[in-house]
Chain A
Amino acid sequence: MLTINLFNGLVYGALLIVMCSGLALIYGLRRVVNFAHGSLYMLGAYLGYTIALKTNFWVALVGAPAVMALFGVLLDRYGFRLLQDRDPLTVVLVTFGLLLVIEDFVQTVWGKSNLTVDAPAALSRSVDFFGTPLPAYRLAVVVIGALVALGLTAWLRWSKAGLFVRAASTDPVTTAMQGVNTDALSAGVVGLGTALAGLAGVVAAPFLSLSPSMSSDVIIDSFVVVVIGGLGSLGGAFVAAMVLGMVQALGAVYLPDLSAVLPFVIMVAVLIWKPAGFAGSRT
């Protein structure tokens, strides 16, 4: 029983890793807390549903994030870039307005009822793990989360673009003076961030059903993760996502009343003690 709960915690943590890395990247480059991130996740999930309906799940897994990436690039070019000299809270409110528009769009196109997406046939079975049967699909989600975490860390650490991203996150003006095209870089990174949100949506669809409330369900948890891990820090977000996933899964079973409030208590405590979060702003 404990294994299943730990495993579920791992699965939700993996999902949060994919979600929150996008949020952390967008904050790191553009200093914007993207309130619309949950609705982007939802949009990705619904797009994945439609694509999977026409073709299959694997196409949706690639297609939906691709569409979301394009959307992200446009969002950066015509949204964040034009507003970058404004008060940061102004941009936050713009993303809040965007959230309303996207939620309404999703409800208009896909309706308000819950939709389901089936996991691909190849993964609809159980894998035996030391005597406990685990759903193969959820195992795949954990693998995807791990791949995203490792991939992003490797990219940031060892590639040239990653170096530019780390530099721009630390000091955008000086980085631009060194000859890096920070606008193109930001567009790319925001596109990557929104693609990750879309990927999280597609991946989550088979085991969390699609509903109009899915964006608000996940955005609060994402904020808690990003704040605890440190706004802009990917490593912190990974650790915090895992911790939160575990807390939610174990708490829901063993301490139901407390578990709902615990993430917020931790978040408030972290914000009061260290407003920059545990990892600070180091990528």
Chain B
Amino acid sequence: MTIVRIGLAAVGALAVGGAVAALVGSGTVLSLLTQAVIYAVFASGVGLLLRQNGMVSFGHALYFGLSGYALGIVLQLGWMPAELALVAVLAAIGAVAFVVGLVIVRVPGVAFSMMTLAIGQMLFLTASRSRGLTGGADGMNINWPSTLFGVPQSLLLKPAVLFLVCWCVMVLVVAGLALLLRGRFGAVTEAVRDNEERARFIGLRTLAPRAAIYALSAVIAALGGSLSALNTGFVSPEALHWSVSGVALMMVVVGGYRALWGPPLGAIVYFLFKDVLGDWASHWMAIFGIALITVIVFSPTGLAGALERLLPSRRKRAAAAGRPASAH
């Protein structure tokens, strides 16, 4: 997609978000949508790793929860203003994730997935036990200051405003990724994903790009975690559990990881399932499990892939014509 198209799509998406925020009156519905959008950001991170590196991570909840905990601790100790803390936490997580990535992306296939599971669980257990630092299994409150980026808390925490903020972040993340990945970096990482040995033969460095994608996916997951911390003002070890990573992975698979907007779609579908399946609410997990299996078996590219196949052929031809040109 060209830059113009990405820009137009982003503006369109922002407008949709604005319309939803203005027109939906019910606070509970907006609250649900906000949660969905926060998970959409988280799922985008997980989906990025799967899309560009071909790696499945069962441990990204680590970064989701870690950003909440880091923010909580930094704000509690009062080291820096909240705005700076947000940026610093994300930067720190990115750096740590890059170093971790350099070590663990070398591990192939399923072993990588199991390793991410192990690392995530390690942090979960550590956080559950450190009563002094993190409040242990009870979780910790996050002391947000009274104004954030000049906006007072009372205004920021209104359902419509919070939804709009989270929606804008999500649109910017997806648009940003689309811009980043259409260039050389995207092509390099895709080459390494498809055949690492051959990429090395043609002279590409294969370790740093993969670690960079891992770090980027971690930062995006952490961004989701920061939004969640803003939404609830609270973080607990449950946010680090591997089942949270599993849920994000489900969203990615059901939504489809080929398209960058697939994981957010999956997140919204997941939350709709959860809410709309009224009487069947106690069984929605099983139904989602069945939906997951069905999607994997019949449409490996997920809902986004299925939707793209239904789009008019003119767009598909344009996309196909554009791809060879951007392969340089």
Is A110 in contact with chain B by the CB < 8 A criterion?
Answer: no
CB–CB A92/B110 < 8 A: yes
Which chain B residues border A260 with CB–CB below 8 Å?
A: 125, 129
Give Cα A110 to B129, complex, Å.
Answer: 31
Complex interface: chain A residues within 8 A of B126 (CB): 261
Q: Is B88 interfacial (CB 8 A cutoff)? A: no
Quick one: given A90-B300, A261-B125, are A271 and B286 in contact (CB under 8 Å)? no
State which residues 87-118 of A face B: CB under 8 Å.
88-90, 92-94, 96-101, 103-105, 108
A94 to B297, CA, bound (A): 8
Asked whether, in the complex, the Cβ of A100 is within 8 Å of the Cβ of B113, the reply is: no
Chain B residues whose CB sits within 8 angstroms of the CB of A89 once the complex forms:
56, 109-110, 113
Q: Take A260-B129, A267-B114 as given contacts and tell me if A104 and B286 are in contact as well, using a CB distance cutoff of 8 Å.
A: yes
User: By the criterion CB–CB under 8 Å, are B114 and A93 in contact?
Assistant: no
- Interface size on B, as a range, is 35 or more
Choose, from B155-163, B194-202, B287-295, the stretch at the interface: B287-295
Residues B253-300 near A (CB distance < 8 A): 253, 282-283, 285-286, 288-290, 292-293, 296-297, 300
A265 vs B108: C-alpha distance in the bound complex, in angstroms? Answer: 18
Least CB distance, A108 to chain B, in whole angstroms: 7
Task: Verify B103–A224 contact, CB threshold 8 A.
Answer: no
Given A96-B246, A223-B114, 6 other A-B contacts at CB below 8 A?
A89-B109, A89-B113, A93-B250, A98-B289, A220-B117, A257-B129
What residues of A have a CB within 8 angstroms of the CB of B282 in the complex? Answer: 108
* Contact with A93, one of B117, B249, B285, B290 (Cβ below 8 angstroms): B249
Number of A-B contacts (CB under 8 A): 104
Q: How large is the interface on A (under 10, 10 to 19, 20 to 34, 35 or more residues)?
A: 35 or more
Q: Which of B121, B126, B250 has the most CB of A within 10 A?
A: B121
Chain A positions within 8 Å of B114 at CB level: 33, 223, 227, 267, 271
- 29 residue pairs of the A-B complex, CB under 8 angstroms, read A33-B113, A89-B109, A92-B110, A93-B253, A94-B292, A96-B292, A97-B250, A97-B292, A97-B293, A98-B293, A99-B289, A100-B286, A103-B286, A104-B283, A104-B285, A108-B283, A231-B110, A261-B125, A264-B118, A264-B121, A264-B122, A265-B122, A267-B114, A267-B115, A268-B119, A271-B114, A272-B103, A272-B104, A275-B111
A94 and B290 contact, CB distance less than 8 A: no
Q: Is B243's CB within 8 Å of the partner chain A?
A: yes
- One of A86, A97, A108 near B289 (C-beta < 8 A): A97
Cα A176 to Cα B249 in complex, Å, equals 35
Q: Of residues 61 to 90 in A, which have CB atoms within 8 Å of B's CB atoms?
A: 82-83, 86, 88-90
Distance in Å from the Cβ of A162 to the closest Cβ of chain B? 25
CB of A35 to closest CB in B, whole Å: 9
CA distance A267 to B117 in the complex (A): 10
Most buried by A among B129, B282, B289: B289
- Among B114, B243, B282, B297, the one with the most A-chain Cβ atoms within 10 Å of its Cβ is B114
Q: Flag if B111 contacts A271 (CB, 8 Å).
A: yes
Nearest to B120 among chain A residues (CB) is: A264
Does B107 have its Cβ within 8 Å of any Cβ on chain A? yes
Chain A residues engaging chain B, CB cutoff 8 angstroms: 33, 82-83, 86, 88-90, 92-94, 96-101, 103-105, 108, 216, 220, 223-224, 227, 231, 257, 260-261, 264-265, 267-268, 271-272, 275-276
CA A169 to CA B111, docked complex, whole Å: 18
Task: Tell whether, in the assembled complex, residue B115 and residue A271 are in contact, meaning their CB atoms are under 8 Å apart.
Answer: yes
Q: Are B249 and A96 in contact (CB under 8 A)?
A: yes
Least CB distance from A247 to B in Å reads 14
Please measure, in the bound complex, the distance between the C-alpha atom of A98 and the C-alpha atom of B122, giving whole angstroms: 25
Q: Bound state CA distance, A48 and B104, in angstroms? A: 41
